[in-house]
């Protein structure tokens, strides 16, 4: 019998209970005791193993994006962009690539309702012939802050109070009053956009600016956009209370049931592109993650479609153990100097090594589906069978060689070592444009959400004044209306 023929799988289950080592268990209902009522013996290995395994069933939940749902499917290229990128999975129309997607809420715990006002994660893992490409984004095209050094404090402010373990608005209002770049994100989060109807009726964004590189080495800045074919739909605050009260997993159930019924969710992938030589021409920094690129200047270009046509087989294996990292790119796609993206390149893999272990990329959901080889070995939970004698490079006993060189951006970089803000902050123009684009009833709901948040008893007069100043700089009438409603509420 070849001990390496089968990897662990329920497809090879025996018809009877066994221990983890395969030993038959003839009684899975009674502990081994001294007499029928005597003390339990430590030698009951099956009992000890069963309890020890159960005690360790829960791995640490994600610090953010703990609550999520996954599904599998494929991506199909519909439009030729081979002039922009040498990425193999984008090589021609008709090419299909298997993938897995994880949708999530960001701030709240693993068992929290999916109706809470919160950004949603939209992470796609493409299993390409050149390795995995993780496009890890959100349902909102911008972010709260533009520098990753602020991220831990930002999440602490959004998470529950460490004393009461209750999420409290005053902490959010206080923290972000120090970061005016957050205004643009809040025009999404405190808008109808903040509570999607479900995952199927939700758009996705790569959020960051990435780089596409073609075979000649020409670089193009790119932003990725996922648009659901079934349209965008949201829940009102009142509807969210009813839906969340009846089923706190409504979005997970909707995704699973839709796929099971053959109603496969589909998204179209679009890109916006920019010549890097033009990045100084605008009143905003194109690499600033708190900004969008105006579509009238950078129109959406169709690329392909994503279809989710298979539910996951096991929630733990393909949702809890599913791990994403924006550092996982393929030839033809590269990073930019976006400060938040540069931080995520390190932090995502680091948190997965803590949560799942150093060999988390061996887990089936995370492992590449193409042939791969390196000299990383051993360590916790390494289950790859290896029988080679040479585990170093280079060697005359091993024919492995360097891969074919692929072009990457080669722009020269120079400057002083310094900790500084971006020169073009321009924090208020885009939030104002977005607010003025809404109909009156949507504007009123946004104002109502802000008045509620600023009415928290622990939000000080100073914090309210800062936010009224910010919103007035976005749109004069917006600041005035928030101030008037706060004054009216305080006089009631």
Active-site residue numbers?
Answer: 65, 138
CA–CA separation, 347 and 148 (whole Å):
9
Number of alpha carbons in the 13 Å side-chain half-sphere of residue 218: 11
Task: Count H helices and E strands in the chain, helices first.
Answer: 12, 10
Question: Who's near 338: CB < 8 A, 6+ residues apart?
Answer: 208, 209, 287, 288, 289
Q: Give, rounded to a whole angstrom, the gap between the first and last alpha carbons of the chain.
A: 81
Within 10 angstroms of residue 205's Cβ, the number of other Cβ atoms is 19
The DSSP output letter for 90 is G
Say whether 348 counts as a known binding-site residue. Answer: yes
Alpha helices in 247-385 (DSSP H): 250-260, 315, 339-355
Question: How wide is the angle at C-alpha 410 spanned by C-alphas 404 and 411, nearest 5°?
Answer: 170
DSSP H or E stretch at residue 105 = strand 96-105
In contact, 330 and 354? CB cutoff 8 Å: no
Extract the tokens encoding 434: 């977005």
CA–CA separation, 91 and 87 (whole Å):
6
What are the binding residues for heme? 348
């Amino acid at each position: 019998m070849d001990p390496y023929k089968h990897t662990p799988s329920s497809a090879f289950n025996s018809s009877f209970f066994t221990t983890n080592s395969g030993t038959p268990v003839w009684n899975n209902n009674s502990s081994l005791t001294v007499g029928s009522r005597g003390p339990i013996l430590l030698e009951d290995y099956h009992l000890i193993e069963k309890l020890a395994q159960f005690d360790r069933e829960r791995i640490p939940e994600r610090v953010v994006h703990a609550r999520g749902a996954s599904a599998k499917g494929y991506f199909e290229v519909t439009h030729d962009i081979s002039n922009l990128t040498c990425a193999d999975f984008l090589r021609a129309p008709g090419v299909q690539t298997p993938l897995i997607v994880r949708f999530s809420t960001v701030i709240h715990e693993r068992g929290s309702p999916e109706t809470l006002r919160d950004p949603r994660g939209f992470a796609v893992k493409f299993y390409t012939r050149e390795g995995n490409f993780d496009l890890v984004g959100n349902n909102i095209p911008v972010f709260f802050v533009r520098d990753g050094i602020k991220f831990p404090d930002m999440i602490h402010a959004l998470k529950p109070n460490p004393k009461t373990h209750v999420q409290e608005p005053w902490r959010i209002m206080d923290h972000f009053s120090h970061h005016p770049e957050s205004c643009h994100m809040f025009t999404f989060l405190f808008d109808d956009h903040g509570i999607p109807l479900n995952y199927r009726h939700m758009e996705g964004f790569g959020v960051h600016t990435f780089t596409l590189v073609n075979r000649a080495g020409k670089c193009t800045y790119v932003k990725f956009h996922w648009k659901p074919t079934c349209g965008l739909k949201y829940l009102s605050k009142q509807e969210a209370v009813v839906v969340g009260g009846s089923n706190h997993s409504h979005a997970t159930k909707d995704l699973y049931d839709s796929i099971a019924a053959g109603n496969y969710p589909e998204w179209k992938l679009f890109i916006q592109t920019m010549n890097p030589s033009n990045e100084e021409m605008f009143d905003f920094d194109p690499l600033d993650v708190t900004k969008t690129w105006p579509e009238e200047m950078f129109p959406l270009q169709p690329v392909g479609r994503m279809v989710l046509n298979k539910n996951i087989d096991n929630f733990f294996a393909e949702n809890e153990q599913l791990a994403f990292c924006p550092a996982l790119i393929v030839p033809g796609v590269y990073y930019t100097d976006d400060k938040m993206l540069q931080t995520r390149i390190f932090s995502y893999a680091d948190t997965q090594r803590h949560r799942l272990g150093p060999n988390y990329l061996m887990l089936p959901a995370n492992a590449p589906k193409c042939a791969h080889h390196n000299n990383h070995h051993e360590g916790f939970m390494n289950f790859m069978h290896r029988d080679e004698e040479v585990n170093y490079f280079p060697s005359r006993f091993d024919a492995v060689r360097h891969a074919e060189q692929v072009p990457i951006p080669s722009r020269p970089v120079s400057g002083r070592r310094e900790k500084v803000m971006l020169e073009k902050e321009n924090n208020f123009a885009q939030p104002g444009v977005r607010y003025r684009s809404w109909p009156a009833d949507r504007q009123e709901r946004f104002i109502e959400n802000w008045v509620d948040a600023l009415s928290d008893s622990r939000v000080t007069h100073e914090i309210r004044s800062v936010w009224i100043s910010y919103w007035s700089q976005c749109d004069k009438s917006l600041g005035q209306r928030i101030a008037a409603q706060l004054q009216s509420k305080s006089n009631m």
